[in-house]
Amino acid sequence: MEDSFMPELDRIDRNILRALQEEGRLSNADLASRVNVSPATCHRRTQRLFDDGYIEGVSARINPEQVGMGALVMVGVVLDRSTPESFAEFEQAANRMSVILDCNLVAGDFDYLLKIRARDMNDFNKLHGEQLIALPGVRQTRTFFVMKEVKNNAPLTF
C-alpha cells in the first residue's frame, strides 16, 4: 500500500504499537487500559493497525540456547553475477533454507548478508560446506561468528 494512502498515526495508535512491541501477549482489555481507551475502541484501532499493515504479525521470541541453536553466524555472500535473474534464483533458494533467519540484499562488499542459527561451529561448518556454498550463483562467502549479542530485535522507535 502506498504511504499516501496510509492514515496518519495518532498518539493512541503509536501507544498501541509501542505496547504490543513490548508485550505481544497483552489482552485487549489490558492493552486498552495501558493506552487509556475503551476495550471496544482499542480493538477497533488494533484491528485497523493490522489491516493497514502497521502490524505484520505477533510471535514469540524463542531462546536459541534452549532449543539447541546457540551459534549465531552472519555470512556475507558475493554472487558471481549481478543480474535480476541471479538475484531472484539466489533469493528463492535462500528462502527455502530454514536455518537462514534473515537474508538481506545489501550495498557494499557483499551482495547479501545472511543471519543464520546453528547448533555449534561444527554444525555450521557442515552447513557451509554442503549447502551455503552450493546456493545458486555463490562466488564467495565471508563468515562472522557472533561472540555476544549486545542488542537483538530492539523495538522500533517512532
φ, ψ for residue 102, nearest 5 deg? -135, 140
Within-domain flag for 114: yes
Residue 101: give its domain's CATH number. 3.30.70.920
Within-domain flag for 154: no
Within-domain flag for 62: no
For position 1, what pLDDT does the model report?
44
List of residues 6+ apart from 86 with CB closer than 8 A? 79, 80, 136, 137
CA dist 66 and 60 (Å) reads 14
Within-domain flag for 111: yes
pLDDT in tens, 98-141: 999 999 999 999 999 999 999 999 999 999 999 999 999 999 99
pLDDT in tens, 12-65: 999 999 999 999 999 999 999 999 999 999 999 999 999 999 999 998 899 999
CA terminus-to-terminus distance, the chain: 19
Domain, as residue range, for 15:
10-51
Where does the pLDDT of residue 8 fall: very low under 50, low under 70, confident under 90, or very high at 90 and above? confident
Number of domains in the chain: 2
Within-domain flag for 116: yes
Within-domain flag for 109: yes
Per-residue cell: 51 = 489491516
Do 80 and 122 belong together in one domain? yes
**Is the model's pLDDT at 3 over the cut of 90?**
no
